[in-house]
Amino acid sequence: MSYEIPAPMLAKSVPEVPAPDAVAGGLSYEPKWDGFRGLVSWDGESVEIGSRGAKPLTRYFPELVEAFARLLPEPCLLDGEVVVPKGEPGAQRLDWDSLTQRIHPAASRVNRLAEETPAMFIAFDLLARGERDLQPEPFEVRRAELVDLLGGLPHPIHVTRTTDDADLARRWLSEFEGAGLDGVVAKPLAQPYAPNKRTMFKIKHHRTADVVALGYRIHRSGAGVGSLLVGLYGDDGRLFNVGAVSAFSDKRRLELVDELAPLVERDEEGDALTGAGEKSRFSAADRDSSFVRLRPERVLEVRYDQLEGHRFRHTVQFERWRPDRDPASCTYDQLDAVSAFDVGRVLE
């Protein structure tokens, strides 16, 4: 027996937790785990962990491969999230940096990190069980089958909690952020699994911050601003790169080059100065990460969801320019402080 791993079902963003009767058949709510999407196939002999993108995850998480083969009671196809918790028991939170470190070409490093920062799997859907394809079944049925199959398994395999109470889901949205979670997902109870379709709803944390424009990357087309790099000042007065703003229209990209021209730092010959940006381990090896440096004199307001370490976790969205703000006032102090919350309590 073998399973074909489908594209994962997706979610569309909505600004707030929808009411249970927002769709026919009602909604089920669950925490939105912040990790790598993983579709796990176990045919009774071998384990494969597919991802949302084209990169299979199997080789990067040997400890999960071993756990699936040892603990799964029968062949199945699971949908869930691979996450890495860190911290002492009772004070754990998800650690994105540790998770991304697991994507490494050297098997020796992967095996070492599997021991030092072991991952766990949070299952939230069941697509096949034995010979039965469950994708045509409504989520309500798939969820019941998932709990029946995995409900009694030990760590590192967990089944995410759910509720039909929208008020409780709103509380989760606030509380679980302290454990490193990303928000809340609302799933239509009556709908089948829909690969690559945005039939679920995601509600994420959105906040605004005033940041300093410190550089820009040229768009991959070679014309205009592809992304605008932004920064915040630390307690020591240093300006830290905290992320990037992108998703500009073709017209706006070209306009920004002219708007930002007076701020471009130049050498004695008048040539623009450039810097070397950080590369993601998921980016192509030959991707140009250099950027045009700007004098830190212009402030903009951006929307962001959460901070991971000293950087915004995801690409931020442009809101507006803030000519009324002094760049030196753009510090980390303006960002919301999130109360700590233990990952273990989310799994209860």
Strand pairing class (311-312; 299-304): unpaired
Per the residue annotation, which of 12, 32, 202, 279 is the catalytic one? 32
CA distance 163 to 287: 43
Domains of the chain: 10-204 (3.30.470.30), 207-334 (2.40.50.140)
pLDDT at 86: 93
pTM metric for this prediction: 0.76
Amino acid identity of residue 65, one-letter, is V
DSSP class of residue 58 equals: G
Is 32 known to be catalytic?
A: yes
pLDDT at 137: 98
Enumerate residues 6+ apart whose C-beta is below 8 A from 163.
Answer: 28, 29, 30, 169, 172
Cβ–Cβ < 8 Å for 192, 127: no
Locate all alpha helices (DSSP H) within the chain, ordered by sequence: 62-71, 96-101, 107-116, 139-150, 166-175, 250-260, 343-346
Helices H, strands E: what count in the chain?
7, 21
Task: Going residue by residue through the chain, which has 348 residues, state the pLDDT in tens, using 9 for 90 and above.
Answer: 789 999 999 999 898 999 999 999 999 999 999 899 999 999 999 999 998 866 789 999 999 999 999 999 999 999 999 999 999 888 999 998 899 899 999 999 999 999 999 999 999 999 999 999 999 999 999 999 999 999 999 999 999 999 999 999 999 999 998 998 989 999 999 999 999 899 999 998 778 889 999 999 999 888 899 999 999 999 999 999 999 998 889 999 999 999 999 999 988 777 777 776 554 443 444 445 689 999 999 999 998 888 887 899 888 999 889 887 889 989 998 887 677 889 999 988
Strand pairing class (10-13; 198-204): parallel
Amino acid identity of residue 270, one-letter, is G
Between the alpha carbon of residue 335 and those of residues 103, 177, 209, 240, 318, the distances in Å are: 30, 14, 7, 14, 16
pLDDT at 169: 97
Cβ–Cβ < 8 Å for 61, 233: no
Residue with tokens 């931020």: 316
DSSP class of residue 5 equals: P
pLDDT at 339: 78
Shortest CA distance to 205 belongs to which of 10, 337, 8? 337
CA distance 175 to 273: 44
Cβ–Cβ < 8 Å for 12, 202: yes
CA distance 330 to 110: 38
